[in-house]
Amino acid sequence: MKCKVCRGPAVIDLPRHNANFCADHFLRYCRNQVERVIHDYAMLTPGERVLVAVSGGKDSLALWDLLGELGWETDGLYVGLGIGDYSDVSGGYARRFAAERGLRLNEVDLRATYDFDIPTAAAVTRRVPCSACGLSKRHLFDAAAVDGGYDAMATGHNLDDEAAVLYGNVLRWQMAYLGRQRPVLPAGNGFPRKVKPLVRLTERETAAYCVLRGIDYQVEECPMAAGNRHLGYKEVLNEMERRSPGTKSSFYFGFVDRAVDLFAQEAWSGPSGGVGFDDGAADDGGASGRPLGHCTRCGAPAESDLCAFCRLVDRAGGAQPVPVAPPRRRS
Amino acid sequence: MKCKVCRGPAVIDLPRHNANFCADHFLRYCRNQVERVIHDYAMLTPGERVLVAVSGGKDSLALWDLLGELGWETDGLYVGLGIGDYSDVSGGYARRFAAERGLRLNEVDLRATYDFDIPTAAAVTRRVPCSACGLSKRHLFDAAAVDGGYDAMATGHNLDDEAAVLYGNVLRWQMAYLGRQRPVLPAGNGFPRKVKPLVRLTERETAAYCVLRGIDYQVEECPMAAGNRHLGYKEVLNEMERRSPGTKSSFYFGFVDRAVDLFAQEAWSGPSGGVGFDDGAADDGGASGRPLGHCTRCGAPAESDLCAFCRLVDRAGGAQPVPVAPPRRRS
């Protein structure tokens, strides 16, 4: 197996590109993919400051590293979700990455600041944990980006994430979510601009990027996400990709490049915030284009007196912590 | 297992409806589903004459039977495709069904009338056989419906067929095909109205309907369709349906009821005719809304001097027949 560029020994094969790469040219490929997507979808313009949503996993750390390599001025934000050991370990990876590179990592801890955590919120709201988690992260990332005067907020959603969310939204024809599922959401209505620079890279590629760059990351899967529909959709897409390389990419970019505009008008009529079928961990939110009021408590964009996050704090804040199952290895 | 209606012994379970039925109430369920879809999508109005596309398989014979049961005046049309024993046996089932019920079955034989057959056309055009087959059937059914003065042409596409075609079109975001994938296509531009009254029934249900009604049908799968993408998509959808009953129905009807209109404008820019990703056996065609000329040879709607079917006749007509693999049992 030889590198497509230099014919040296290859370390990774990319069937959908019909290419193999050595370490150096794979890293260059990753940078090129991110540079290309930032340009093609007008995500960022030179000189802008970017807040990176950092979880301590491979995607967010690869994203932070890649944006730095490409010359962007970035800070990170880590949200402590209180998911037992999983969160403790994840935070450690995020802090170590930042410290080793002299980068600034801001932190918000749900329990310390709002007196609840995700397992407790899930128990109190009786919804899937990914719902309260996605809501909380969107709120805190949005607020930090706006308050910190960042030009954009970047998340590590990769091609697998986006294709799986699209798959779930298409299976149910979730019109409002479909109208907002773009690689870049413009700022507006009190929301920051949101960008997803990793949408041309798969999770296998972000993992390989981290390994080759010597980035240590949280390998465990979130114990609260086990068995959710999102993971099932990823399995289906992986099997189709195996049979026909390029399926995920043509599915996602076919939608983004040809179909999403058709759904744009539908985005007005849906709930603001999430773009995913289950409001889950891999989803993201943004300006819906809909005129909104402001939360009377925190000032965030809101459809009623209190924003959804402040309502969650009212329900879950101060509740007795519930135990979390131990994390399981990614299979 | 008891019938949901009469509590007698049930013969079939329908997980997506959370219901079991005895033979009588299952047959009534099938009639109700067809009656409902004809009404909801304004497929037919009382007194109209319908031409049924008959292949000799379970779907087309169930369709013909159901339309008769519901009081519609119907004739059938069978197209002899020349696919070896498979075609001979299929034609026999169609003729026997018609003869036993005193129904009129018109026939067109590709080899006798146009001096080619599907295996030969596939070899000459070097495309998947389903392409030449779909093209030929659409042309001959359309022409027969228009020439015979029928108010509509009905095909036996079931929920599995339509969901799989939609799945393939969505994976590639085939905008023009998506804009035409409806349960009813209005007449226009020289095309007859086309209706799909079985879209609320699965292929398991049309098979059960035939068994319970004592209808003999061609059980073999077309030997030329083996391994096509359409069958792979059906497998994926079947697995998702197994995990989450109702998936196919909400996928297909969510699209038809909420999304297809968004794609309508795109239907203008695509090729007329097929609505499917591979122009295949389970696809259908119709008026695209696009102004068309007429074929200088046969008078059919055409985008150039000769329609696609007459061009196929020019390429494949008179060619030496090629052998066909023996049919395989449906697994």
- Domain ranges in chain A are 12-316
* Contact with chain B for residue A329, Cβ under 8 A: no
- pLDDT, chain B, mean: 91
DSSP-based three-state secondary structure for A202: coil
Least confident of A10-19, A261-270, B2-11, B187-196: A261-270
A12-316 under CATH 2.10.240.10, yes or no = no
Q: Which residue has the higher pLDDT, B189 or B65?
A: B65
Other C-beta atoms closer than 10 Å to the C-beta of B78 total: 24
Choose among B236, B247, B262: nearest Cβ to A262.
B262
Instruction: Choose the CATH number for B32-218+245-289 among 3.40.50.620, 3.30.70.20, 3.30.360.10, 2.40.30.170.
Output: 3.40.50.620
* Contact with chain B for residue A170, Cβ under 8 A: yes
Q: How far apart are CA A288 and CA A298, in angstroms?
A: 19
Q: Give B291: exposed, middle or buried? Use CB within 10 Å, 0-12, 13-18, 19+.
A: exposed
* Contact with chain B for residue A269, Cβ under 8 A: no
B251 and A175 within 8 Å at the Cβ level: the answer is: no
* Confidence tier at A323 by pLDDT (50, 70, 90): confident
Reply yes or no on whether the pLDDT at A267 is more than 70.
no
Reply yes or no on whether the pLDDT at A280 is more than 50.
no
Reply yes or no on whether the pLDDT at A331 is more than 90.
no
User: b or e along B99-108 (b: 16 or more beta carbons within 10 Å of the residue's beta carbon)?
Assistant: eeeebebebb
A251 and B170 within 8 Å at the Cβ level: the answer is: yes
Nearest chain B Cα to A262, which residue?
A: B262
Nearest chain A Cα to B265, which residue?
A: A262
Other C-beta atoms closer than 10 Å to the C-beta of A330 total: 11
- Amino acid letter, residue B145: A
- For the stretch A142-190, pLDDT in tens is 999 999 999 999 999 999 999 999 999 999 999 999 999 999 999 998 9
Q: How far apart are CA B5 and CA B28, in angstroms?
A: 11
B250 and A172 within 8 Å at the Cβ level: the answer is: yes
B172 and A263 within 8 Å at the Cβ level: the answer is: no
- In this prediction, residues A63-79 reach a mean pLDDT of 98
Choose among B175, B240, B258: nearest Cβ to A259.
B175
pLDDT, residue B291, reads 60
Q: How far apart are CA B215 and CA B93, in angstroms?
A: 9
* Contact with chain B for residue A177, Cβ under 8 A: no
Window 235-254 of B, Cβ < 8 Å to A: 236, 239-240, 243, 247, 250-251, 254
- For the stretch A52-61, pLDDT in tens is 999 999 999 9
- Give the minimum alpha-carbon distance from B268 to chain A in angstroms, rounded to a whole number: 15
- Give the minimum alpha-carbon distance from A306 to chain B in angstroms, rounded to a whole number: 31
Mutate to test the interface with A, among B16, B169, B173 (most CBs of A within 10 A): B173
pLDDT, residue B146, reads 96
- In this prediction, residues B244-248 reach a mean pLDDT of 96
Nearest chain B Cα to A233, which residue?
A: B240
Reply yes or no on whether the pLDDT at B283 is more than 50.
no
pLDDT, residue B307, reads 94
Q: Give the DSSP letter of residue A280.
A: -
Choose among A232, A239, A259: nearest Cβ to B173.
A259
- Give the minimum alpha-carbon distance from B163 to chain A in angstroms, rounded to a whole number: 10
Mutate to test the interface with A, among B171, B172, B228, B248 (most CBs of A within 10 A): B171
- In this prediction, residues B18-27 reach a mean pLDDT of 98
Mutate to test the interface with B, among A171, A233, A247, A250 (most CBs of B within 10 A): A171
pLDDT, residue A283, reads 35
Which chain A residues contact residue B236 at CB under 8 A?
236, 239-240
Choose among B175, B239, B250: nearest Cβ to A258.
B175
- Give the minimum alpha-carbon distance from A313 to chain B in angstroms, rounded to a whole number: 33
- For the stretch A204-259, pLDDT in tens is 999 999 999 999 999 998 999 887 888 899 999 999 999 999 999 999 999 999 99
Extract the tokens encoding A218: 């949280």
A247 and B171 within 8 Å at the Cβ level: the answer is: yes
- pLDDT, chain A, mean: 91
Reply yes or no on whether the pLDDT at A277 is more than 50.
no
Reply yes or no on whether the pLDDT at B286 is more than 90.
no
B259 and A171 within 8 Å at the Cβ level: the answer is: no
Which chain B residues contact residue A263 at CB under 8 A?
262
Nearest chain A Cα to B178, which residue?
A: A259
- Give the minimum alpha-carbon distance from A250 to chain B in angstroms, rounded to a whole number: 6
- In this prediction, residues B31-50 reach a mean pLDDT of 98
Q: How far apart are CA A121 and CA A311, in angstroms?
A: 11
Choose among B171, B175, B232: nearest Cβ to A251.
B171
Q: What is the ipTM of this complex?
A: 0.86
Least confident of A220-234, A273-287, B245-259: A273-287
* Contact with chain B for residue A173, Cβ under 8 A: yes
pLDDT, residue A48, reads 98
B259 and A173 within 8 Å at the Cβ level: the answer is: yes
Q: Which residue has the higher pLDDT, A248 or A282?
A: A248
Reply yes or no on whether the pLDDT at A303 is more than 90.
no
